[in-house]
Every structure is written in C-alpha cells, then in structure tokens.
Structure 1
Amino acid sequence: MRLTRLSAAWAAIALIITAAPVQARAPATTIANPAMWQVKDADTTIYLFGTVHVLKPGIDWFRGGMKAAFDRSDELVLEIIEPDDPNVMGAIMMTRAMATDGTALSDRLAPDARGKYHAAMEENGLPWRNFDRTNPWMAGMALSVAPLAKLGYRADLGAEKALRTAAEKAGKRVDALETVEQQIDFFATLPMEQQVQFLNATVDGLPEMESEFAGLLHHWQAGEPDRLAKSMNESLEATPELAQVLLIGRNANWAQWIKARMGQPGTVFVAVGAGHLAGKGSVQDQLKALGIQSRRVKK
C-alpha cells in the first residue's frame, strides 16, 4: 500500500535531522542538473528550485545556471528555517508527539500490523516501547528517516543546508514560508485513522525504500519533474485528504505568498521540496490558477 509513504517520507525528512557517518573514501562525483522555474515581471524575479533534503556525498548539484540564479538573488526563502540546535527541534516535536488519551501506540494497530511495526522498529534501531506513549505520526516519521541514514544519506549534505550556508556567507536575507511548528502540525493534527494509515504504509514500504528513494533522486538529478511526480505524488491520489494537507493546500498557500511577493521589486530564490514543484496541484499549477505564469529555466 503505497498511498502516502513516498510523499510523507519526503516531508518527514525535512523535520527530523538525521546524519549518517561520513564515508571514509570520497565517492566519484555525479553531476546533477535539478529542475528550476522562474516567475518574472518588470522588476521582480522569483526562482523556484526543487530540493532534496538528504543526499549522499559526491553529488555536484550546486552549479551552472542554478548557481548563477542563486548568486543573482537578494534573498533565499526555504520551507522552514531549522533551529541550529537539533535539541530544539526535538523538543518542539515531542511537545506535539505525546498521546493525550492514554492509549499506547501499539494498541492502536491491528495485531498483524502491530507485529510488523515492532519488527521494523527494532530492525532500524528504534525501540518500539520508547514510542508507545507517542502518536503514530511520530513513529512513522522516524521510520521514514532512519533507514535512509543507514543507507548513507545525510541531512548535512541536503540542498537546504548548502543553500542556507551559502546565503548566510554571502550576506543574503534568509526567510521561510512556514514555521517549524506549522510543519510538525501538518502531521500532528491528522485524524488518528490517517496517522495509523501513514504508519502502516511506511512499515509496508520499507523493503522497497532503498530502490524507490534512489529512483526519486535519479529523477531529481536528471531534472525530470514529471517522472518524479509519477513516483512520488500520484501515490497520494488514493488518500485525497492527506494530499490536501501535505501538498495541495501548502502549494496553494505558497502560490499566494509568491503572488504577494511579486508586488515588491527584487530577486528571490525559493527552495522547497522537489515534490511541491512536480505533478498535479504543484506550486506552478496553483500560480497558473492565480493568473501567474512560470517557465522552466533551461539547464
């Protein structure tokens, strides 16, 4: 059951800061050309760049026309600005993760799903008993990220981290479309049935996670948003409620922000998860509904 696993995992990676050990041997460099779009009027230019929140070493993506667009920009806008202290993020998450009705997480799951969940948690170094006082979304997010760390993906190599570091070094303003609390609440406020559905889908998808995430990265590196959308976003069509919360509603809000920002002169580099710029209901689609055209920037 793929329904939410890929898209939710993509969102979860932005919230849990997990880094795998640095590899002893430097890998061969892979040249990447991720997709980028532009919205422009007489005195305002806004670039839209789709990011990946975790990467392996050796991927050269901060280059070429994308790097030139970033250098021309006065301001960087991310989904969120992560706290410099990861303990702050953890504290914010835990204030929203704890169950308030006294029901153990394990007891919310059907017997067969419970056994698979327990095994998956233990296999990934996440003792399930430590999560029994939390709501299902928290365990689902942890399971969405822990396997990627074991596979060598690192948050400190993610696109947002590199862009923010470069912006701060260059003295650019750095802003965010959402707060950390808002992003966490997209999961924390899901109805319990949908939280359980998300957790079960995550567990069921673990055997394919390595190949599927590698496929997503391949499409990102090659600048293939249509293929990325097919792999990632279409899995949400079976659960339109989750699609509205995790993608469509947020894309619509961001399109409104871009429309308002077009009223101010300057050049802005907006970097959000690549899934938000791909497929039906993307930020570009939402802009088009507002009468604002975007165009793909050639490599």
Structure 2
Amino acid sequence: MRAIAAALAISLTIASGAAAQVIDDPEATVVEALVVSAKLPGPAWWRISDADTTVYILGTPGATPKGMTWDSSVADRRLDGAFALLTPPTLRAGLTDIPALLRLRGKMKDDGDWAAAEPALAVRVQRAWSAVEPKDPDGWRDWKPLVLGGLIAGKTNRKAGLEYGQVSRRIEKLARKHRVKVRAAETYKAMPLIKTVARQAEDSAGLVCLTETLDTVEQGQDRYRVAAQAWAEGRVRAALTAPRSADRCQYLLPGVAEMTQRLTAAEVDALANLLKTPGHAVALYPIRSLVAEGGVLDQLRARGITVRTPGDG
C-alpha cells in the first residue's frame, strides 16, 4: 500500500460534506494458518518453493521508530548467493506529469467552510495540528479534510520519530553488498489513478478519513512502536496490530481497490515466475498484504504453490 500512498499524496484533494461512509477493507481479515511466529532470530519469513527453487519472503512493517535495530542475520544469509531481490510493485510519475500534478496541487487548498459545518471535528483538528505545528496553529484551515488527514498523520509520525521504508532500505543495502540484482515486481504509471481520484472522489471520504486519522493520533503513537518491536522479534500477530488508518482511508477512493488488486496480482505473478529459475531468491512485501485473505500468500496457495510459514524455520 505504500506505493499507492505515495502516488496519491498529491491527489487526495476532494473533501467536504458530512455523509458517513463505511470502509470496505479487503485486508481486514487474515489467514490464520499463515499468522505464525518465527522460529529463527529476527523478523518472520515465509517461503515458497518447488523442486529446484526457494524464494524467501520477508513481510515488512509499516511505520517504525527511526534507527530501529533488528537482527538482520537471516536476511544477510539468505541474500548470500541469491539470484534476485524482488521488491513490491511501484507507481511512478515522470517529468512529463509535472504540469498535471501542479494543476492538481491547487485543488488541495480549501477555504475552511467545512469546519463551520463540523465544529466538533474542527476542534479535534485544531488540537492535533497545534501539537505538531505550534508556530502555525491555524495553518490547517488552508487544506481540505482529506489532505489534512495525511498531513496530520505525517507530521505526528515525524514528531514521534517514526518513519516508513527503513527496513526495505536496509535489505536493499544488504543486497548490494552481496551483488544481488534488485527489481520491482512491476511498475505502473501513477497519473491514471491520481486523475481518477481527483475527478471521482466522493465528498464524504475526506471527513471519514480525517476522523479515522484523528482517532489514531489521539490514541498515541506507541502502538506503532509496540507493533514494530513485535515485527523485529518475529511475533507476527502482534506485528499486525499497527494502526491502519492511512491504508483504510485509501479504500474509500475510486480506483484504489482495483489498483490494490492489480498490485497484488503483479506480486503473485512475479513470485511465481521466480520459481522458474533454479536457486534461491529473496522478496519483500508488506506483512499484512502477505497474510490477508486473498493476499499474496493466499493466492499463491490457490495456485498450488507450496507456502511454508515462519514456524517452519
């Protein structure tokens, strides 16, 4: 989901109105047989295999404390001699997309009228924003609610010393040490999804997402730290308890559920294709997306591919 979050950062622009929406979260349910704690040191690994190939798959966490330490000895060993490191599918915008992105940027601004219609929510926003922007306590009034959710979440995480992607960066650094080729499962153009969101997003999505974000912020950022520590220790079930307001919000937006399915399918195909090359490889994918019903490992099992859990060592 991080690929989608990055692509949508500039396009979450249409928000106002009070109609409630129910979030259809396709990753809410996990496959219990896959939620197994690790036997080996460090985070949990799953693996798929056939007669002459093994692919080790590391489930990566979301936000983690900056500079978090974790035992990467298993990753180091598995990258030694690997013929590839597969990273998740990505969404990218190029230089030719800059004019369109700049036009969309203007839609991020707001006159703040929504706050008068939602006074209780506005009070919560004021409190959360002032905590992260004390020098500009009223700066939130310039933004639409859907954008505000992302801004408040990002600023709160940074203040708490949380960041995304450091685990993947460390694995890729290890891959370079072992001279392992790194490649994404697939790359897609981001602009079609961005335009769909900008043109078709429903007004109610902004307030729903903003409310979810504030719920998470008000409960404190320690839940991210607890989940990250569990991830580092291979305790899968506890690692899955990290807040998911950002991921859930995205499912309210047009085109996101379809793109999520497309990204998952691309990962499944890429992993299955790795089995065609003798030897062993390593792959990364967000941990919940690995073990969710209909997720990567569930789809691989449906194809008849052998999937072993972290409990198998």
Q: TM-score of the superposition, structure 1-length normalised?
A: 0.68
Contact 1:248–1:281 under 8 Å retained in 2 = no
Return the alpha-carbon distance in structure 2 between the equivalents of residues 55 and 214 of structure 1: 6
Counterpart pick for 2:235 among 213, 218, 224: 224
Counterpart pick for 1:288 among 296, 301, 304: 301
C-alpha spacing 1:194/1:56, structure 2 compared with 1 (3 Å)? same
Give how far 1:49 is off: 0.4
Q: What is the one-letter code of the residue matched to 2:161? A: G
Counterpart pick for 1:48 among 57, 70, 75: 57
* Counterpart for residue 210 of structure 2: 199
Larger Rg: 2
Consecutive unaligned residues in structure 1, runs of 5 or more: 1-7, 17-30
Contact 1:92–1:181 under 8 Å retained in 2 = no
Contact 1:118–1:128 under 8 Å retained in 2 = yes
C-alpha spacing 1:210/1:232, structure 2 compared with 1 (3 Å)? closer
Q: Partner of 1:72: helix, strand, or coil? A: coil
* Counterpart for residue 254 of structure 1: 267
Contact 1:12–1:141 under 8 Å retained in 2 = no
Return the alpha-carbon distance in structure 1 between the equivalents of residues 175 and 191 of structure 2: 22
Give 1:99-138 correspondences, 5 Å limit.
Answer: 100=107, 104=110, 106-108=112-114, 110-125=118-133, 136-138=145-147
Equivalent residues, number: 269
* Counterpart for residue 42 of structure 2: 33
* Counterpart for residue 157 of structure 2: 148
Consecutive unaligned residues in structure 2, runs of 5 or more: 10-39
CA RMSD of aligned residues (A): 4.4
* Counterpart for residue 271 of structure 1: 284
Counterpart pick for 1:139 among 141, 148, 155: 148
Give how far 1:34 is off: 0.8
Q: What is the one-letter code of the residue matched to 1:281? A: G
Q: What is the one-letter code of the residue matched to 1:70? A: L
Return the alpha-carbon distance in structure 2 between the equivalents of residues 11 and 224 of structure 1: 26
Give how far 1:284 is off: 1.0
Give how far 1:92 is off: 10
C-alpha spacing 1:237/1:116, structure 2 compared with 1 (3 Å)? closer
Q: Say yes or no: does 1:78 pair with 2:87.
A: yes
Give how far 1:266 is off: 4.4
Contact 1:229–1:275 under 8 Å retained in 2 = yes
| Identity in percent | 19
Return the alpha-carbon distance in structure 1 between the equivalents of residues 100 and 137 of structure 2: 17
